Structures are given as C-alpha cells and as structure tokens.
C-alpha cells in the first residue's frame, strides 16, 4: 500500500493509530484537508469488523450538529474500508487535561455545557454514544467542542439494553454495564460525569494501583467517589453535587435525562 497516497487522497501526516484503524490528515482532490481513516488489512478480512467500522459512519451520516464531526465519504480502496471526515483544527480534551491547559481551566463551565448539549442532541436523535471519554472530544482553539467516534453507538430503546460486550473504556463504564451489561441514556450520563470529574480535578473518581481495585470500587455501592472538592477546593458546591449525581452508582439515582443536567449547568455561575 502506498503510504503517501490512498483512495485519491494525499497523506499529509499521521494523526493517530492503534487498535484496528489508522488515521491521517490528508488532502482530497480539491486540496481540502480531511481526516482519512482506514481499517487495517488484518481486520478488513473479517466481515464483522468491516461492519463495525462502517457502523459509526452510518450513525454520523444521520446526525447534523455543530458539535459532532461530519462524515464526508465512505468506500473501499481495494479491499480496505475507509472513510473521510471533516478536519477539525483542535486538541483532544485528554491533552488539555494532561497538560492542564488554560483553555480548559479558563473555560471549564462552557466546555461542560457544550458537552451536555451535544450528548442531549445525540440522545434526542435516538442514539446512545457509549464511548464518551476525553479522547473522543476535540476542542478547537476557540473553545468549541466536537464529538468523534460513534463506532459503539446504539439505537436508544424504551428500556435498558442488554449488551454482549462491554461498551467503551473501563474507567468510563457505568456500574450497571460492568455488572449486568445493561445500558441506557443514564450510562452515557455516568460517562459524562467521569469526564466532568477529570476536567475539574485531574483525577478519576476511582483510582488504585491495580485495575481490579478500581473495578471493585466502581461497582461497590458502599464505595463513593472521592468528592471533587477534596482535590480542588475551588470547585463550587453546586457543581460538585451535579457531578456526583451523574456518578451515582444506581441508575435511578442519576439524572434521568440530559435536559436536567443542562438545567443545572445553566444555573451555575
């Protein structure tokens, strides 16, 4: 495979890699910058991985919101599935947290409100994201956020959905998904709460030396998360309460809808 040209696109630079896919910044035939993503050859041989690869693109094609990345094209180069998406000049929220960037610290409430609004839109369109984490949130230099990676997204249903495989990254998975493999919009709200927590404290709600310790704390109803104000006393009490409500161990104790998260975020100064 020519590493400088792919499916009529000129590769500019590597953007990310790992797992089953590779991402690049590329130029299309009109010399516009796009993000090119393709499935690695070993995975492309199997139908179920090709199906999963295109699933996220199909979901994105049905969404139209300034906070959600736009899918441009899908197809095959030979036997290799690929897609192109809009290029967003940005850094991930993970980077901003890792380096404690002023863009995060000076705009944290604005970023939180944008995230809640974006996730509310996703739910309103009938989907669960199920992979909400800082790596999947792009932040432009002007503080505007864009959500990416809908590979695990599922259609919402009236009742919790039982899934065969755990969706998402363990630290962001709600307790009911870890223990009973059940997900609904409150599972996304839990993941949003973990993200909020990290933005405010630079810690995760549950931490430990071993993964098993962290997992046990996540699911134990008698082990609450460390209160955010213990890490960051500047966090307002009302904001701390909002985050902890998102992180409630029992789904019924969480916010039932993003509309209520948005309401309480809007009440914060």
Catalytic annotation, residues: 131
Q: Is 17 exposed, middle or buried (0-12, 13-18, 19+ CB in 10 A)?
A: exposed
53, two tokens? 């690869």
Instruction: For strands 9-18 and 21-27, give the pairing.
Output: antiparallel
139, two tokens? 């932040």
Using CA atoms, how far apart are residues 265 and 254, in angstroms rounded to an integer?
Answer: 15
206, two tokens? 């549950």
Question: Cβ contacts of residue 133 below 8 Å, gap of 6+?
Answer: 94, 168, 169, 171, 172, 191, 194, 195
Minimal CA–CA distance to 258: which of 190, 197, 189? 189
| DSSP character at residue 160 | P
């Amino acid at each position: 495979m020519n590493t400088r040209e792919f499916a009529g696109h000129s590769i500019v630079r590597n953007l990310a890699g790992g797992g089953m896919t590779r991402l690049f910044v590329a130029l299309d035939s009109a010399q516009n910058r796009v993000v090119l993503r393709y499935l690695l050859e070993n995975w492309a041989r199997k139908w179920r991985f090709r199906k999963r690869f295109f699933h996220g693109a199909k979901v994105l094609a049905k969404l139209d919101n300034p906070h959600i990345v736009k899918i441009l094209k899908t197809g095959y180069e030979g036997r290799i599935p690929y897609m192109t998406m809009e290029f967003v000049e940005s850094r991930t929220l993970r980077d901003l947290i890792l380096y404690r960037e002023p863009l995060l610290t000076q705009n944290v409430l604005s970023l939180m409100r944008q995230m809640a609004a974006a996730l509310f839109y996703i739910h309103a369109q009938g989907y669960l994201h199920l992979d909400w984490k800082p790596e999947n949130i792009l932040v432009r230099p002007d503080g505007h956020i864009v959500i990416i990676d809908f590979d695990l997204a599922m259609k919402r249903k009236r009742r919790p959905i039982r899934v065969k495989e755990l969706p998402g990254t363990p630290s962001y998975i709600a307790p009911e998904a870890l223990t009973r493999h059940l997900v609904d919009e409150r599972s996304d709200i839990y993941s949003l709460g973990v993200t909020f927590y990290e933005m405010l404290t630079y810690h995760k709600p549950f931490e430990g030396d071993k993964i098993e310790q962290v997992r046990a704390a996540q699911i134990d109803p008698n082990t609450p998360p460390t209160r955010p104000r213990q890490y960051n006393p500047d966090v307002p009490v009302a904001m701390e309460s909002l985050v902890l409500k998102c992180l409630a161990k029992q789904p019924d104790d969480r916010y039932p809808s993003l509309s209520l998260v948005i309401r309480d975020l809007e009440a914060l100064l």
